[in-house]
Structure 1
Amino acid sequence: MRSDKLRVKLISMTQTFLSPDQFELPSDSEMAILSHILRNKGAAQPDIVTATELSQQTVSRLVNGLLARGAVQSGGRIPNGKRGQPRLKLEIAPSYAYSLGVALMTDAMSVLLMDFAGQVVDYHYVEMPKMSRNAVFAQLDETVHGFLKRHPRAKDRLLGVGVGISGYSLDGRARYNPPSALDDWAMVDIDHLFTEALGLPAWVENDGNAAAIGESLLGVGRRYANFVYVFIAAGIGGGVISNHQLLRGIHGNGGEIGLILPRNMFELPTLETLLASIREQGIEMSSISEMLARFDVNWPGIDAWIERARDPLSLIASSIAALLDPEAIVLGGRLPAELSQKIIPMIELYDDARREEPRPLPKFLLSETKVDACAIGAAMLPLEKQFFASMV
């Protein structure tokens, strides 16, 4: 009963500002243009023509339409390196639309408000000892009210909500089998729950897939079209980006790289095992959230965990390199950047080093999405699905 009353409250709150018909959804060609501008932090029309392979006349017509709708705006001038006038730079108009991103973790929830240009407008992280639906929706109610009070422009321009959750997909859409701490969210249509609660269209992804989408549009993907994102949190997973597109697999479980490891042979390189390692050295921490908030890369137990993580991460990375041959492997999730920097030099990519010139291997990179990888990726879901799906 409490859950039903809470949903009625949230629906009444959102219905006062939601106007879903005010956005004219773009054509595939317009999506390609928007995607190119977003990924490149602005672009001139000649560059868009080259990237999209659309004609100059088509690009000019579509850009004028996007300018008229307010989806893009004129930026500065881009020097062309030749004689003549610099080219006009087109940019994504940040206030054209907004989205919400929610990350459901085993011990916490984060909520993020994002603008149309992929910029974090507001963010809230809260530790939650109980991740029940009632607890989550009560916190979400308070958080969204705060966001919209501080950013009234977003009240009339919300496109939807994206949800990232730990666990594997059951139906390739919105039913997941998460860890036990998220029992209340297991094997139910999570998108329907959030739509009922917020009155907004909702999309759901595994946390690793969500983070990979965010990284593709706002991080490493601005330079690399093909990479694998290794998502380390309470568990370990990931996402595969192929030619700027998420490779979801038949059942939505592409990128479940933690399943590469035989459990009876390796300790999983996760934040749960990291927490156990530092506790064994006498450092008292109540949760992963507390450990991350107070993190010190020089704590006793850190180096021992890295030593144990080296072989399983080497096996995962070598399997990725052999099967997918990506340009890069990105280390991210909730893993602190200073810890990632210590781990990367320890990871070995297995290779037979045949002759003088071995096969090309992927680069190891740190995630370039800041604040909260899963929440950022989740917030990108409504934008990506409706405006940036046609990647170029």
Structure 2
Amino acid sequence: MSRFLSHKTFATPPFFRDSTRTPCSLSERKILSLLIRRPNLTLAELTSLSEFSQQSISRLIKGMIEKGILIASDRVATGKRGQPSLSTSIVGNYAYTIGISIMTDCVAIALVNLAGETIAETTHIPPSMSRKEVLNLIKLSFDSFTSEHNIEHDTILGAGVAISGYNLGGRSKFNTPPGLGEWALIDIDEIIAEELNLPVWVENDGNVAALGESLLGTGRDYENFAYLFIAAGIGGGIVINGEMLRGSNGNAGEIGLIVPSNMYPRPMLDLLHTMLQEKGADIEGISDMLAKFDPEQPGVTDWIEKTEPALSLVVSAIAAILDTDAIVLGGRIPRSLARMLIEKLKIYDDGRRSEPRAMPRLTISDHTGDGGVLGAAMLPLHKYFYSTV
């Protein structure tokens, strides 16, 4: 097999190019986008949720079953007279992807199938976040996953990477935070593609977390939401009409920049780590803090009181500017801490007359742990199976 550097060097990934598989049409992607958000829909339900006629739905489903992408499941009783409807589901082992989340103190790697199911996942805390250390752990995890689960290389569509930092003009170069200095201003996709012999896509961690949430979490109920990615720092992503909003330079959703850091302490886990240590907590870093997290420990309520004003301004700005259905708290923040924070947040409003404007729902991500690794794995799948634009 010939090696390649990145997804930019070819028009079609080897997953399609070197096999009999063919990329999905726009209509097929729309069907798949419905099915991943609502598994096991019947033909009648797909017709109701889409703009297609029943005849078109039947034709599309039949074609994707023949390709091996979908499977007809057991018949489902509809409560109506006549023949029960067949439900349809995605064949997970049709394709796989690798998700990689490069954080300031650790790297998470996951193997995910076409249906969005996590087959394997691991997190490593290396001595440093140098390129050599991280690449070695990525390759070791990749080899372990594929060997243990008998995954053939030609069934892997590609790898997605989530990383903190500002995107530089929509490319795979990022201006990363200090802890990721060796990953700054380089072609991340080419470096990891060379290691894995796979095409690679790279996005800001907040963007990919929002993408994962759109396909496999809050997006099942809301087409428009903002995702607050709370980790060592704070960022986020925006989903409008079910699609990730990247912006002109790939930096839409940099929610933390709404408030200046010299005026408001931002709700970052770095700050929480510092405040807990000041209260005597025996924690070595963010990963250790999260593993030992107790919402009752001294310093937690102090952190909430200190950071609530900034986050209240952020959610108020989102509500006023974007008018989303929901605002999701996720990233690496513990669910118990997210719940405590939501109880204190305020969305500012004039409260005019007896019918105030509708406000977004404040909610917690459906995914525990690192919100970036699953979203990263969905990047290649989104490009070739789930994007509807």
Residue 310 (structure 2) aligns with: 312
Contact 1:108/1:129, CA 8 A, preserved across alignment: no
Deviation for aligned residue 1:58: 2.3
- Distance, in Å, in 1 between the alignment partners of 2:116 and 2:302 is 38
- Distance, in Å, in 2 between the alignment partners of 1:128 and 1:350 is 43
Residue 113 (structure 1) aligns with: 111
1:37-116 to 2 correspondences below 5 Å: 37-116=35-114
Residue 379 (structure 2) aligns with: 381
Partner of 1:212, secondary structure, is helix
Contact 2:334/2:368, CA 8 A, preserved across alignment: no
Residue 11 (structure 1) aligns with: none
Residue 273 (structure 2) aligns with: 275
Match of 2:125 among 124, 127, 132: 127
- Distance, in Å, in 2 between the alignment partners of 1:202 and 1:19 is 13
In structure 1, runs of 5+ residues without a counterpart are 1-6, 9-17
Residue 11 (structure 2) aligns with: none
Deviations 1:28-48 (A, max 9, x none): 011111111111112122222
- Distance, in Å, in 2 between the alignment partners of 1:244 and 1:78 is 27
Residue type of the alignment partner of 2:323: D
Partner of 2:41, secondary structure, is coil
Residue type of the alignment partner of 2:236: G
Residue 228 (structure 2) aligns with: 230
- Distance, in Å, in 1 between the alignment partners of 2:290 and 2:138 is 22
Partner of 2:203, secondary structure, is strand
Residue type of the alignment partner of 1:348: K
Residue 12 (structure 1) aligns with: none
Residue 250 (structure 2) aligns with: 252
1:149-298 to 2 correspondences below 5 Å: 149-298=147-296
Partner of 1:153, secondary structure, is coil
Contact 2:334/2:369, CA 8 A, preserved across alignment: no
Residue 346 (structure 1) aligns with: 344
Partner of 1:354, secondary structure, is coil
- Distance, in Å, in 2 between the alignment partners of 1:42 and 1:365 is 26
Superposed CA RMSD = 1.5
Residue type of the alignment partner of 1:55: S
The 1:362/1:154 distance shift into structure 2, 3 A limit, reads: farther
Match of 1:368 among 361, 366, 369: 366
Partner of 1:290, secondary structure, is helix
- Distance, in Å, in 2 between the alignment partners of 1:356 and 1:175 is 50
The 1:154/1:307 distance shift into structure 2, 3 A limit, reads: farther
Residue 13 (structure 1) aligns with: none
Partner of 2:308, secondary structure, is helix
- Distance, in Å, in 1 between the alignment partners of 2:320 and 2:15 is 48
Number of aligned residues: 376
Residue 140 (structure 2) aligns with: 142
Deviations 1:166-220 (A, max 9, x none): 0111121311101011111111121111211111111111000000000000001
- Distance, in Å, in 2 between the alignment partners of 1:240 and 1:351 is 22
- Distance, in Å, in 2 between the alignment partners of 1:371 and 1:208 is 14
- Distance, in Å, in 2 between the alignment partners of 1:128 and 1:272 is 18
In structure 2, runs of 5+ residues without a counterpart are 5-13
Residue 9 (structure 2) aligns with: none
Deviation for aligned residue 1:19: 5.2
Partner of 2:358, secondary structure, is coil
Residue 8 (structure 2) aligns with: none
Residue type of the alignment partner of 1:67: I
Partner of 1:246, secondary structure, is strand
Partner of 1:106, secondary structure, is coil
Partner of 1:338, secondary structure, is helix
Bigger drift between 169-178 and 153-162 goes to: 153-162
- Distance, in Å, in 1 between the alignment partners of 2:64 and 2:162 is 30
Partner of 2:283, secondary structure, is coil
Bigger drift between 40-49 and 62-71 goes to: 40-49
**Identity over the aligned pairs, expressed in percent?**
45
Deviations 1:254-277 (A, max 9, x none): 000000011211111100000011
- Distance, in Å, in 1 between the alignment partners of 2:80 and 2:106 is 53
TM-score for both structures, normalised by structure 2: 0.94
Deviation for aligned residue 1:371: 4.4
Bigger drift between 367-376 and 196-205 goes to: 367-376
- Distance, in Å, in 2 between the alignment partners of 1:200 and 1:359 is 48
Contact 1:268/1:312, CA 8 A, preserved across alignment: yes
Residue type of the alignment partner of 2:287: S
- Distance, in Å, in 1 between the alignment partners of 2:361 and 2:15 is 44
- Distance, in Å, in 2 between the alignment partners of 1:131 and 1:159 is 26
- Distance, in Å, in 1 between the alignment partners of 2:194 and 2:133 is 16
Deviations 1:94-120 (A, max 9, x none): 111100000000000000000111011
Bigger drift between 147-156 and 237-246 goes to: 147-156
Partner of 1:329, secondary structure, is strand
TM-score for both structures, normalised by structure 1: 0.93
Deviations 1:335-379 (A, max 9, x none): 000110111010000011111121110001110023431000000
Partner of 1:152, secondary structure, is coil
- Distance, in Å, in 2 between the alignment partners of 1:154 and 1:220 is 32
Residue 10 (structure 2) aligns with: none
